[in-house]
Amino acid sequence: MKIRAKNQTLKSLIVELTERGEREKVPAWVAVARILNRPKRIGTKVNLWKIEKYAEKGQTIVVPGSVLGQGQLTKPVKVIALKFSSSAKKGILAAKGSCF
């Protein structure tokens, strides 16, 4: 896979996720690496309402993009993302969740 990212940290993450996914036979890591390798204009954006709808209490959610604050989160979840809006961060923390 040709790596498009200019940011060295992002490049390293893409390579690491691809290698780990192939080595451990976990296609989800390879899929996340492909999403991270897309152009920024095709970025992934997820609102709090979608996390509320699909996540279960205590789960870890990986968002290869941005988390936005539309909606309300009522369950504590751990969210790992590249970027959080300030309202999304407040909503996650208000639900006793955590942001990484």
The domain 44-99 having CATH identifier 3.100.10.10: the answer here is yes
Q: Quick check: 57 and 41 in contact, CB under 8 A?
A: no
Helices (H), 1-100: 8-24, 27-36, 48-54, 86-94
Q: 15 is written with which tokens?
A: 């390579």
Average pLDDT of the segment spanning 4-17:
88
Q: Name the pTM for this structure.
A: 0.74
Whether 52 has a pLDDT exceeding 90, the answer reads: yes
DSSP sequence for 78-98: EEEEEEE-HHHHHHHHHTT-E
Q: Model confidence at 21, in pLDDT bands (50, 70, 90)? A: very high
Other C-beta atoms lying within 10 Å of the C-beta of residue 79: 24
Whether 40 has a pLDDT exceeding 80, the answer reads: no
What's the rounded Cα separation, in Å, for the pair 9 and 46? 22
Give the model's pLDDT for residue 19: 93
The interaxial angle of helices 27-36 and 8-24, nearest 10 deg, is: 160
Domain ranges of the chain: 8-41, 44-99
Give the model's pLDDT for residue 41: 78
What's the rounded Cα separation, in Å, for the pair 21 and 29? 5
